[in-house]
Amino acid sequence: MTLPTTVPCYDARMLKKYLTKWIPNPSRLRQHRSLRLFGSWTEESRLWHLSRQSASRAFAIGLYCCMLPIPGQMFIAVALAIIFTANLPISFALIFVTNPLTMPAVFYGAYKLGAWIIGTDPIDVEFQASWTWFTQSLEDIWVPLVVGSQVLGILLAGLGYLVIDGLWRNAIKRQWEARQRKRNQ
């Protein structure tokens, strides 16, 4: 058995193609009811363009907004994507990192982190998936939850930005080096 002599070269086009498969379809996303609120602002072509800068910003925005323990994360993500000219579909899609399956674990972790940061003991709360429980418990848990969520959101946003920017830069560098090798042969 012979091993391949060359390692596949992942370039910027492959990364862009992968992200394009993963992000929501722009025509379907434009019809989403939450985007109608923003009117013609969502028609800006730079919001739908996929580049290193727009993708990196979009990951930062989406990962920050998914950590917000409030309803309406998508409105905030879309507004921030418009303000910072980030890729709107990626910003929109990443808010679903926190979904009904992941929310309890993520926000419990954020609550514990927030309690540790502000120096209070976490309250042993018996979780119940009901609006009544949430409104009654909110008074006791909101400060550590908000602090922890903000810290996690900022850390994830920074990490997401750096990872996507680094992957994209590395892909471009590999593509450039492959072109140079081809020219020198």
* Residue 65 maps to a domain: yes
Domain that holds residue 75: 24-179
- Residue 1 pLDDT greater than 50, yes or no: no
Which pLDDT belongs to residue 151? 97
CA neighbours closer than 13 Å in the CB half-sphere of residue 127 = 8
How many domains does the structure of the chain reveal? 1
* Residue 127 maps to a domain: yes
* Residue 126 maps to a domain: yes
* Residue 16 maps to a domain: no
Mean pLDDT of 139-163: 93
Which residues, including other chains, have CB under 8 Å from residue 85's CB and lie 6 or more apart?
44, 46, 47, 54, 57
Which pLDDT belongs to residue 183? 87
pLDDT band at 185 (very low <50, low <70, confident <90, very high): confident
- Residue 24 pLDDT greater than 90, yes or no: no
* Residue 75 maps to a domain: yes
- Residue 10 pLDDT greater than 60, yes or no: no
